Structure 1
């Protein structure tokens, strides 16, 4: 059996870049593919409400619906945007080799404001919390939209800078010359990784995608997302996590944190374990944070985020 694999994607420049990257990899393996840009998510009638199917992600919902309705075969996402629990019938099919994991500060002019009062923009509670933890005298403005929109808003507003994921800007050649690597900021779980999902009963497509999977990235992002899931934080909670493989020691190095939105409270953990102990690393690290005061903070965060 052969078929054309329909690759579902949102229609932003970054989303299309990701879809075309997967398309080229599949084409190089001899598979036929087609890009399907999906926009509307409310016009598909399903047997069950979306919440019953576990469709929750603000950035992934449209493609989840299209897959379940049979309009596309796979979807390509920035992995950090994907909820830790996938909808019924949809499975993780491939995690591509990870790109740059860092957050960067794109700034305008001098960096003197770092030691004075300043205004920084970000739509991420994780970035906001970590920034205010380090620079409590600063003001943080909300910044939303796709990468291109956010870059334009930075130009149009009297802000000193804005925080972006380096990988997103690098992928579409938007990384400016005036930036600073925020190597002290713990990235979002799975930042810099691309995830391809497919239907669990589509063996042809699953067999194709497994050839794109990068095992090291798969393991590290699994640990980070397990940490996030155990803390019960959605994509919006101020949670950072990064797992890396140390080849010299054949070990996994993990760093994770949980902060209050204002950055005043911070729980963090660092662990190094032998590679054969990776499967529960994210879970155990999160449990340690919860037992040392993080559980109370998570309750407060859930109340705040409901409002």
Structure 2
């Protein structure tokens, strides 16, 4: 058990801090003897907001500074939105715990006081995954990229720059803004990003983190394993519109995935079930099956990009 202050690293945004506080609250509840100190920092991904992630280096830009602080011993653990983490993590900085999952789905947010989306006004989307699925639902609607924290995006929406936004339900809930949700997309409407709604706790290899045991949710771990294996098998980076969502029922996992092939602008979706102990294999197998379906043209749809 630690006999010193544990320094917990987080991005400095309101959402990141709120999420990190959730993890710290769980640690305090189960280990009141552990003293925690929040250490925030601005990552490269937070600083560069005028370019899309695929143009500036991908999701790794949200973890680079925190990884460096962990390696140098300036913090003892870091907390991330799992969906913002690269699919490959350094062996020396393993993911130690996965939080209980928040709402994994995306939602449509409208300007304050507006009851319906005027489809002649652009929807703000932060990535191709949402864009592909939004265009399937609404046809050839104008879609405009958007970056920045939740409050920045909402301010742009309310000022008239956008007619609607697509955001993660869990992020809005964690900063007390669930009332802004106009419509929650079902799994059939929009498959979430792998890991969406799950918080990941990262630390240094070989150290004693037994005090994190209660922070790790076994269901979230199974879901994360299947979803990330699916994306990793398809070489999905930050700019790739690959989506995955795992549902655990008893001893089985049902995985739903979307594979998008960029040069052709087409995609394919599918599902597969396996035992929970085979979560990683499930993700890899579904990925290979969807890739095969793409190659044979079976069930392929136009992605509209």
Matched residue, 2:52: none
Matched residue, 1:99: 102
Write out the 4+ residue segments of structure 1 that deviate beyond 3 Å after TM superposition: 260-264, 274-277
Distance 1:160 1:180 in 2: 14
| 1:166 counterpart = 2:161 | no
Contact 1:94 1:213 in 2 (8 A): yes
The structure 2 residue matched to 1:123, chosen from 123, 126, 137, is: 126
Matched residue, 1:243: 246
Distance 1:91 1:275 in 2: 21
The structure 2 residue matched to 1:58, chosen from 58, 61, 79, is: 61
Distance 1:40 1:241 in 2: 26
Distance 1:290 1:40 in 2: 34
Structure 1 pair 40–147 and aligned structure 2 pair: CA distance change class (3 A): closer
Note the C-alpha offset of 1:169: 0.3
Q: RMSD of aligned C-alpha atoms?
A: 2.4
Provide, for residues 82-113 of structure 1, a one-character-per-residue CA deviation record: whole Å limited to 9, x for no partner. 11111241011100110101100002324364
Matched residue, 1:67: 70
Distance 2:171 2:254 in 1: 24
* Structure 1 residues 1-307: aligned runs within 5 Å: 2-28=3-29, 29-30=31-32, 31-39=34-42, 57-108=60-111, 109-111=114-116, 113=118, 117-177=120-180, 179-183=182-186, 184-203=189-208, 206-247=209-250, 250-259=251-260, 265-293=266-294
* SS at 1:163 equivalent: strand
Q: State the TM-score, normalized to the length of structure 1.
A: 0.84
Distance 1:198 1:143 in 2: 31
Contact 1:243 1:253 in 2 (8 A): yes
How many residue pairs are counted as aligned between the two chains? 278
Contact 1:121 1:159 in 2 (8 A): yes
Q: Which runs of 5+ in 1 are unaligned?
A: 42-54, 297-303
Contact 1:258 1:294 in 2 (8 A): no
Q: Which runs of 5+ in 2 are unaligned?
A: 45-57, 298-304
Q: State the TM-score, normalized to the length of structure 2.
A: 0.84
